Amino acid sequence: MTDTPETPEVPETPAEPVPAAEPTPAERTAASVGPWASATEAYDLLTVDVPAEHWIEALTAARDVLGLAFLDWLSAVDDLDRGFAVCAHLAAVGGPGGVRRLLLRTRVPREKAELPTAVGVYAGAAWHERETLEMFGIGFTGHPHPVTLLLPDGFEGHPLRKDFVLAARVAKDWPGAKEPGESADHGGPARRKMQPAGVPDPNEWGPLKGTLPPVAERPARGAARAGAARTGAAAGVDRPRRTRSVEAGSASQAEAPPGAGATPADAPPVRADRPRRTRSVGEGSVSQAAEPAEPPEAPRRTARTQSSDAPWHAPVPAHDEQPEQPEQPEQPEQPEQPERPQQPEQQPEKQDGDSA
């Protein structure tokens, strides 16, 4: 056997490390707030989401690390099943490059809507937290003065929650609850009124609860037609399917007797009780007799009265109007001739023999 020479092994070159991608401004901002923060940017606004347990820590980092020392507003959004989204709009003013803004957001459950107060970080949050407590029912533990701000004492409910009942619309009908043409005193059965969002049935909620008669719901149109079809089938009555075309007309219309008039093969069928119109709109109906055309009357001229007591019957101008003559072109002015110098008067010479 012939020994084959072994090929020397080529040492593998280590792969060059792939440089890591540079973080985006949103990622850098989230890292500055905390490792548990995530950031997104939309519509030129940077939003940082943080857990509810790190709410005060995130506010402190935004103020001290990012330099956002101004609290613009603090409020909430009702997301129904997802709870409430509490948002704080922060800004940095007075620095170079204009105003820097940031929306810090967290989420609290609907059953236990509570957050620690942010008054220790931003003193101006006290007013906003009081309003959020009234409008959404979100409590802020540690608030120095959690009293009512906008609503009267004894008000029940939170108006900005999406499940809040509009009690004023129950006591007074919504303007759009009536259909066009309906009125309160029409006397006939009314259609079931559509209730707007947030307005319950007055027979189920409000001062008139349980005192109103139930409103009979109308069956759907499809269900009504199906019920009528079932009733007819049960009675043994079945409507025959229409087999005549539109040109043939209804089955109750009598057909023209054969030979009444011959029509060309390509002419459309004509109804026997209504012959086809052969006159135009301008010619009018057949029953209208053609009237001879009369020549147009000449305009009458008002006779001039001979009385001077009523000159307004036939007013005439006070003087005869003469037609305007066309303007003649102006002739160029002739240059003025220089004045001739006056010659002195000659005295007659005295002759011999004349005496003074």
Check whether residue 97 and residue 169 sit in a common domain: no
Give the residue-averaged pLDDT of 60-72: 95
Check whether residue 201 and residue 98 sit in a common domain: no
Q: What is the pLDDT of residue 216?
A: 55
Q: How confident is residue 218, by pLDDT bands cut at 50, 70 and 90?
A: very low
Q: How confident is residue 220, by pLDDT bands cut at 50, 70 and 90?
A: very low
Check whether residue 59 and residue 90 sit in a common domain: yes
Q: Who has greater pLDDT, 250 or 95?
A: 95
Whether residue 133 lies inside any domain: the answer is: yes
The answer to whether 89 touches 99, Cβ cutoff 8 Å, is no
Residue 298 pLDDT greater than 50, yes or no: yes
Check whether residue 73 and residue 130 sit in a common domain: yes
Check whether residue 60 and residue 166 sit in a common domain: no
Check whether residue 119 and residue 167 sit in a common domain: no
Whether residue 71 lies inside any domain: the answer is: yes
Q: How confident is residue 8, by pLDDT bands cut at 50, 70 and 90?
A: low
Whether residue 105 lies inside any domain: the answer is: yes
Whether residue 170 lies inside any domain: the answer is: yes
Whether residue 277 lies inside any domain: the answer is: no
Question: CATH code at 32?
Answer: 3.30.460.80
Determine if the pTM surpasses 0.75.
Answer: no
- Report the range out of 2-11, 131-140, 203-212, 246-255 with the highest average pLDDT: 131-140
pLDDT in tens, 326-339: 677 777 677 676 66
Q: What is the pLDDT of residue 91?
A: 95
Question: What range defines the domain where residue 202 resides?
Answer: 162-178+197-210
Specify the range with the lowest mean pLDDT, choosing from 86-95, 199-208, 287-296: 287-296
Check whether residue 166 and residue 114 sit in a common domain: no
Report the run of H or E that residue 161 belongs to, with start and end.
Answer: none
Express as a percent the part of the chain with pLDDT over 90: 34
Give the residue-averaged pLDDT of 320-347: 67
Q: Who has greater pLDDT, 280 or 173?
A: 280
Whether residue 123 lies inside any domain: the answer is: yes
Q: What is the pLDDT of residue 2?
A: 57
Distance (Å, whole) CA 69 – CA 66: 9
Give the residue-averaged pLDDT of 201-205: 73
Take residue 290 and report the two structure tokens written for it. 């053609």
Specify the range with the lowest mean pLDDT, choosing from 48-52, 112-116, 179-183, 194-198: 179-183
Check whether residue 169 and residue 129 sit in a common domain: no
Distance (Å, whole) CA 131 – CA 77: 13
Q: What is the pLDDT of residue 96?
A: 73
Whether residue 127 lies inside any domain: the answer is: yes
Give the residue-averaged pLDDT of 24-32: 92
Take residue 254 and report the two structure tokens written for it. 């009598």
Check whether residue 96 and residue 174 sit in a common domain: no
Whether residue 227 lies inside any domain: the answer is: no
Choose among 94, 88, 76, 96: nearest CA to 47.
88
Check whether residue 101 and residue 166 sit in a common domain: no
Q: Please name every residue paired with 87 in a beta bridge, in sequence order, or none if there are none.
A: 75, 105
Give the residue-averaged pLDDT of 202-230: 62
Check whether residue 133 and residue 34 sit in a common domain: yes
Check whether residue 64 and residue 126 sit in a common domain: yes
Give the residue-averaged pLDDT of 114-143: 96
Take residue 38 and report the two structure tokens written for it. 């995530």
Can you tell me whether residue 207 is helix, strand or coil? Answer: coil
Distance (Å, whole) CA 173 – CA 177: 7
Q: Who has greater pLDDT, 282 or 124?
A: 124
Q: What is the average pLDDT score of the chain?
A: 74
Q: Rounded to a whole number, what is the distance in angstroms from the first to the last CA of the chain?
A: 189
**Would you say the C-alpha torsion 86, 91, 97, 98 has a positive or negative sign?**
positive
Express as a percent the part of the chain with pLDDT over 70: 47
Q: What is the pLDDT of residue 338?
A: 67
Residue 162 pLDDT greater than 50, yes or no: yes
Q: What is the pLDDT of residue 22?
A: 85
Number of domains in the chain: 2
Q: What is the pLDDT of residue 356?
A: 42
